[in-house]
Chains A and B, each alone.
Chain A
């Protein structure tokens, strides 16, 4: 029952977090200064997501094989590999390093 209640609360809370901005602002446009910030939100958030994914792992620190895999995916993509193939190469790299 504890898990059911927690899931329900998180579902409602997560939904509200997404809705608060549109509910509060409605049709009112953001000021120019805020719009400029919004324009750079995607790269800033992506950087945060990468850092948290690599450093998070439940707080048990960095994983060399994971970092190497991500780097290989980046290099493969830079060498014009399609996105899915680049990610697959990255995952295979990490898996191979873990076998060693």
Chain B
């Protein structure tokens, strides 16, 4: 597949997660405006920060604490991108700065949608998916700023189901081998346990240990070992 075709397929694949992002964007725009951010900052934040989890963390933590604490909390939730950037690097091309620029297209659904198996990623597809989601996120935020719907209304309409449901469907697609299933189960379990005592950002990071467990080599006893032990 050519780079252009991969990019176009990414644009199409981004529609599903993009729809979810749009709903969340409306919710973010409304929440940020209600928190006193005014009409411009929420949209600029969605354009340039482009991280729903970090932006929501800022909106909810800024009114109750210092800016430093809110920034640290928002960055903690994004720590997973450090690991994802390292994971992506082998599939990127060019020098360090060009690679760093391409890595800016990293978002959760694009990372998963671009995965070709065996740790390889289709970067053009990832960028395409991200372009769709970015457009939806910014448009949703602008609509939320303009309409300012009651934040509870979206939840009452089931808006809080959209993202976890998408993640579940992507996970079901991604589990193509028993080991991938191990990564899913161990990652989810570790994340759940970590949630009991840690910040959600660190709990997310804990999930990556599931990949380490799934990748661990299985030691099989060879015949001579088995014979010697009898």
Contact = CB atoms under 8 A, between A and B. Distances in A.
B165 A69 contact: yes
Interface of B: 15-16, 19-20, 35-37, 41, 44-45, 48-51, 54-55, 58, 60, 62, 67, 70-71, 74-75, 78-90, 92, 95-97, 99-104, 106, 108, 111-112, 115, 117-119, 156-172, 174-175, 179-188, 190-192, 195, 200, 203-212, 214-215
Contacts of A21: 82-89, 103
| Residues of B contacting A: mostly | helix
Contacts of A18: 81-82, 84-85, 100, 103-104, 106
A22 B93 CA distance: 10
Nearest to B91: A38
Contact of A44 (B117, B119, B170, B187): B187
Among B79, B112, B164, B171, max chain A CB count under 10 A is at B164
Contacts of B183: 40-41, 43-44, 47
Contact of A92 (B85, B158, B180, B205): B158
A17 B79 contact: yes
A38 B71 contact: no
A11 B210 CA distance: 28
A41 B208 contact: yes
Interface in A72-91: 73-74, 77-78, 83-84, 86-87, 90-91
A48 B175 CA distance: 14
Contacts of B181: 43
Interface string A26-65: 1101100111111111111111111111111110000101
Given A19-B100, A43-B175, A87 B161 contact: yes
A20 to B, nearest CB: 6
A6 interface: yes
Contacts of A10: 49, 51, 54-55, 58, 71, 74-75
A95 B158 contact: yes
Classify chain A's interface size.
Answer: 35 or more
Nearest to B96: A26
Contacts of B166: 83, 87
Nearest to B93: A27
Interface of A: 2-7, 9-11, 13-15, 17-23, 25-27, 29-30, 33-58, 63, 65-66, 69-70, 73-74, 77-78, 83-84, 86-87, 90-95, 98
B44 to A, nearest CB: 7
Contacts, number: 296
A14 B112 contact: no
| Residues of A contacting B: mostly | helix
Given A46-B174, A55-B195, A25 B89 contact: yes
B44 A7 contact: yes
A48 B85 contact: no
5 contacts: A44-B186, A45-B112, A73-B168, A74-B168, A87-B166
Contacts of B214: 40, 43-44
B206 A14 contact: no
